Amino acid sequence: MKVDILSDLHLDFYFKPHLTTSENIISFFESIFTNRGTQKIGDVLIVAGDIGHNNKQNIEVLKILQKKFYKHIICVLGNHDYYLIGSEAKYAFKNNSFLRIEDMQKRINQEENLHCLDGTVVTIDGVQFGGANSWYDGSYVKKYFPSLDNSDINLLWRENINDSNLIKGISWFDEIHTLEMKKLENIYKNCDVMITHVNPSFDEKHIDKKYHNSPINTFFTFDGSKFYKNGFIKYWVFGHTHDSIEYTMEDVNFLCNPLGYPYESNYGEGIIMKSFEI
């Protein structure tokens, strides 16, 4: 099967609610999925997190994309999918980001041929796709800035990363990491394809050069070595960084293909779809 990959859709930056119509969604994404009409669309689409800030809009768009283009769409959620922005969202989810995540996962998983992985595996035509939202940890800082301790990292997080303000229900940068690693632990031996939102390598070789030598990288990476070294994973798809990244390590192919914000993607025109055959 041919698997297309994309992450970081940030849908609410592209479509105002009243313009979230089938026509607009299809014409925008058809151009991306076909690389401007030059290639065939795959069988399965992976969306590696950061779908958008509005659960209702997210599910509307995913349903339209699956019905029109793909046999299956497989997602995990990203840090932005935890965000509670505005009083309406805070009220609806009782100021608890985890309720927003649960709601989004439920909306996706109740649809036929849409899958939201949360420490779970879905098998499609014999291929096992596993995934979880995942989260960042302090590994990058421990390697490249060993004089900083966990309190320093938390201070950096509070001062530089919106997650610390817009995710309600956490007070420590790697609180969600602890929860998410248990989920990866449960599935990594049963995946041909692993999907996480965050880059599982904190080595600078696997981080875009323009970010090198900054402790902030720790909020974009985690140590996934246990999983890619000891599992049977052939492809690991991630997002979170808005740079297109590819690398190979321990016989695993790592791929990241973000749509990103409109100013980064030139409203989708600058995106080259990535795919693999499995």
Q: Which residues bind Fe ion (CB under 5 A)?
A: 8, 50
In the complex, the smallest distance separating the C-beta of residue 78 from Fe ion, rounded to whole angstroms, is 6
Q: Which is nearer to Fe ion, 39 or 214 (CB)?
A: 214
In the complex, the smallest distance separating the C-beta of residue 92 from Fe ion, rounded to whole angstroms, is 22
Q: Which is nearer to Fe ion, 130 or 260 (CB)?
A: 260
Asked if 110 contacts 192 with a C-beta cutoff of 8 angstroms, the reply is: no
In the complex, the smallest distance separating the C-beta of residue 174 from Fe ion, rounded to whole angstroms, is 19
Q: Which is nearer to Fe ion, 50 or 174 (CB)?
A: 50
In the complex, the smallest distance separating the C-beta of residue 241 from Fe ion, rounded to whole angstroms, is 8
Plot region of 45 (φ>0 → left; ψ -120 to 50 → alpha; else → beta): beta
Strand pairing report for 114-116 and 72-76: parallel
Task: Name the token pair of 171.
Answer: 């007070």
H-state helical runs in the chain? 11-14, 22-33, 55-69, 87-92, 97-109, 139-144, 150-160, 163-166, 175-187, 225-230, 262-265
Q: Which is nearer to Fe ion, 231 or 240 (CB)?
A: 240
CA–CA separation, 255 vs 232, rounded Å?
16
Q: Which is nearer to Fe ion, 50 or 223 (CB)?
A: 50
Among 147, 134, 137, which residue's Cα sits nearest to residue 217? 137
What is the dihedral sign for C-alpha 188, 227, 103, 179?
positive
In the complex, the smallest distance separating the C-beta of residue 10 from Fe ion, rounded to whole angstroms, is 6
Quick one: 128 exposed, middle or buried, by C-beta within 10 A (0-12, 13-18, 19+)? middle
Which DSSP category does 167 fall into? S
Q: Which is nearer to Fe ion, 100 or 121 (CB)?
A: 100
In the complex, the smallest distance separating the C-beta of residue 117 from Fe ion, rounded to whole angstroms, is 18
CA–CA separation, 278 vs 275, rounded Å?
10
